[in-house]
C-alpha cells in the first residue's frame, strides 16, 4: 500500500470549522471570520467581465492587481507577491525558509496554520508565552533559538483579536538576529489601520515580510486572494516554490476592483466595528470576559474549558456555530465572528438563555 512520508502521516489534519447543523435546524455560522457583507459591487462586476475569456491562463504576474495595491498603499509594485489567499504565501514562505535545520517560532496563541505549515516542512515549531492574549515581544526574543529561521506574528492576532503597536514590532525586529525572517501577518490589518498597525516600510531591512488578504475587510473569502510585501531577494526565492498560475483571472480582476473601491471597504470596517463594540458591551453585561478586539470577531472567556464546551454544544443544537479555541491553546474560550446585526444579537440572546437555564 502506498504510504505518505512519515512526517506527513504523523500529522493531524488541519482543524476546519464543523459546519453540520442538526437536522431541521437552520445554520448560522459565526465561526469563520467571514465578512458581514458581500464584496464591492465593482469587484463582482469586474470578476464577471473576465468569464468570457476563461480559456486563457491568468496573469502570472498579477499586473493589474499589483498596480491597484501599489497605488492605494503607496508601495512599490515590484515588491508585491500575490497568492491563493495569504495561507498560500505562508506555506511558500515556510517551504523556502524553514525545515529540519531551521525552526519556526510564533506566540503561544497564534494562528494554528503556522504550526501546520511548519510540520509540513519538518521544521520544529516553537512557541513563546503571551501576556494574557497579547503578543509579548520579550517572550519571543527570549524564545528565539540558534536554529530559528522564521518568526510569525499576526497583528492583529487570530484568534485573540488583540494587537501590538508598531514600536513593539520595531523592537522585535531589532532584537532578532538579522538572519531570522520576521513575517508579520496583517490579515485583519484594515480593521486596525486607525491604530497605525501597517508596517510596510519594514521590508526595507531585507529580513521582514508583511502579509495581507482580501478575505476579511474586502469580503472576498471565496475568491482566495492574498498579497504581501517582500524584500527582492526573498521574493526571488518565493517565486521558485509558488504556483505560477495561483490566482484565477476572475479573482485577480475582482480583487483589483475591490482594492480601488476603498470607500466600500472602509464602510464595511465601520459597520463591523459598530456591531463588534455593541456585542462586546452586551457580552460583558452578561458576565463574559471579552478582550478589546481590533478585528471582525470577539473572543469570549467562558471561565473554563468545560463551560466553553457546554456553551458550544448548547449553541450548536440551536444552529448557532461559534469557534472553540482549544487548538490555539485557549480551551476556555469561544470566538464569535461579527456577523449581521440580527445574527450577532441572536448569538448573544442564546448565550443569555444558556446562562439563564443554568449553563447546562
Q: pLDDT-based confidence at 30, cuts 50/70/90?
A: very high
Q: What is the mean pLDDT of residues 84-89?
A: 95
Q: pLDDT tens digit string along 311-331?
A: 999 999 999 999 999 999 999
With cut-offs at 50, 70 and 90, classify the pLDDT of residue 195: low
**CA 59 – CA 63 distance, rounded (Å):** 7
Residues above pLDDT 70, as percent of the chain: 96
Class of domain 20-38+263-356: alpha beta
Comparison of pLDDT for 83 and 19, the residue scoring more? 83
Alpha-carbon distance of 260 to 69, in angstroms, equals: 8
Q: Kindly state the average pLDDT of the residues 172-194.
A: 94
Rounded Cα distance, 27 and 19, in Å = 8
Residue 80 bridge partners (DSSP):
229
How confident is residue 228, by pLDDT bands cut at 50, 70 and 90? very high
Evaluate if residue 53 carries a pLDDT over 60: yes
Query: What is the structure's pLDDT at 193?
Result: 78
Rounded distance, CA 153 to CA 165, Å? 12
User: Domains of the chain: which residue ranges?
Assistant: 20-38+263-356, 41-260
- The pLDDT-based confidence of 6 (bands split at 50, 70, 90) is confident
Asked if residue 291 lies in contact with residue 162, where contact means CB atoms within 8 angstroms, the answer is yes
Q: Tell me the average pLDDT across 93-113.
A: 96
| Separation CA 213–CA 33 (nearest Å) | 13
Contact 72, 262 (CB under 8 A): yes
**Same fold for the domain at 20-38+263-356 and the one at 41-260?**
no
As beta bridge partners, residue 105 has 126, 151
Average pLDDT along the chain: 94
Predicted pLDDT of residue 108: 97
Question: Domain 41-260 is in which class?
Answer: alpha beta
Which pLDDT value is given to residue 55? Answer: 94
For residues 238-242, average pLDDT: 95
CB atoms within 10 A of CB 134: 17
- Mean pLDDT of all residues in 7-12: 76
What CA–CA distance (Å, rounded) separates 157 from 107?
10
How far is residue 117's CA from residue 182's CA, in Å, rounded to a whole number? 16
Q: What percent of the chain has pLDDT over 90?
A: 88
- C-alpha cell read off for 134: 497579547
> Please, are residues 104 and 126 in contact by the beta-carbon 8 Å criterion?
yes
pTM of the model: 0.93
Q: Given this model, what pLDDT does residue 341 score?
A: 97
Res. 196: pLDDT tops 60: no
Residue 45 near residue 236, CB atoms below 8 Å: no
Read off the pLDDT band of 7 (50, 70, 90).
confident
**DSSP state letter for 31:** S
Q: Give the three-state DSSP class for 182.
A: strand
Range from 26-35, 38-47, 187-196 that averages highest in pLDDT: 38-47
- Listed in order, strand segments (DSSP E) in the chain are 28-29, 80-83, 103-107, 125-128, 148-154, 181-185, 208-213, 226-229, 289-290, 297-301, 320-321, 323-324, 333-337
Residue 197 pLDDT greater than 70, yes or no: no
Amino acid at each position: 500500500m502506498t504510504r505518505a512520508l512519515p512526517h506527513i502521516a504523523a500529522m493531524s489534519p488541519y482543524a476546519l470549522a464543523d459546519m453540520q447543523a442538526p437536522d431541521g435546524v437552520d445554520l448560522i455560522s459565526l465561526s469563520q471570520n467571514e465578512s458581514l457583507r458581500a464584496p464591492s459591487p465593482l469587484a463582482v462586476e469586474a470578476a464577471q467581465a473576465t468569464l468570457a475569456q476563461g480559456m486563457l491562463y491568468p496573469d502570472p504576474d498579477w499586473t493589474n492587481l499589483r498596480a491597484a495595491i501599489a497605488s492605494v498603499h503607496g508601495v512599490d509594485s515590484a515588491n508585491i507577491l500575490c497568492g491563493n489567499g495569504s495561507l498560500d504565501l505562508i506555506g511558500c514562505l515556510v517551504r523556502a525558509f524553514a525545515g529540519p535545520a531551521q525552526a519556526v517560532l510564533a506566540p503561544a496563541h497564534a494562528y494554528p496554520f503556522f504550526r501546520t505549515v511548519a510540520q509540513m516542512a519538518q521544521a520544529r515549531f516553537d512557541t513563546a508565552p503571551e501576556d494574557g492574549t497579547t503578543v509579548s515581544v520579550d517572550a519571543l526574543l527570549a524564545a528565539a533559538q540558534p536554529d530559528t529561521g522564521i518568526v510569525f506574528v499576526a497583528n492583529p492576532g487570530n484568534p485573540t483579536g488583540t494587537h501590538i503597536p508598531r514600536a513593539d514590532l520595531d523592537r522585535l525586529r531589532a532584537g532578532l538576529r538579522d538572519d531570522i525572517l520576521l513575517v508579520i501577518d496583517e490579515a485583519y490589518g484594515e480593521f486596525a489601520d486607525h491604530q497605525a498597525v501597517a508596517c510596510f516600510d519594514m521590508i526595507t531591512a531585507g529580513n521582514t515580510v508583511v502579509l495581507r488578504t482580501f478575505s476579511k475587510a474586502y469580503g472576498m473569502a471565496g475568491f482566495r486572494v492574498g498579497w504581501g510585501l517582500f524584500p527582492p531577494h526573498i521574493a526571488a526565492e518565493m517565486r521558485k516554490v509558488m504556483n505560477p498560475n495561483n490566482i484565477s483571472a476572475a479573482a485577480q480582476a475582482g480583487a483589483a476592483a475591490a482594492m480601488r473601491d476603498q470607500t466600500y471597504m472602509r464602510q464595511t470596517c465601520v459597520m463591523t466595528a459598530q456591531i463588534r463594540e455593541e456585542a462586546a458591551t452586551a457580552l460583558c453585561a452578561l458576565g463574559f470576559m471579552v478582550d478589546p478586539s481590533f478585528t471582525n470577531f470577539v473572543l469570549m472567556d467562558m471561565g473554563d474549558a468545560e463551560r466553553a464546551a457546554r456553551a458550544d454544544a448548547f449553541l450548536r443544537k440551536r444552529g448557532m456555530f461559534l469557534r472553540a479555541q482549544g487548538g490555539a491553546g485557549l480551551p476556555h474560550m469561544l470566538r464569535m465572528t461579527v456577523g449581521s446585526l440580527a445574527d450577532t444579537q441572536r448569538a448573544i440572546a442564546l448565550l443569555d438563555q444558556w446562562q439563564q437555564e443554568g449553563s447546562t
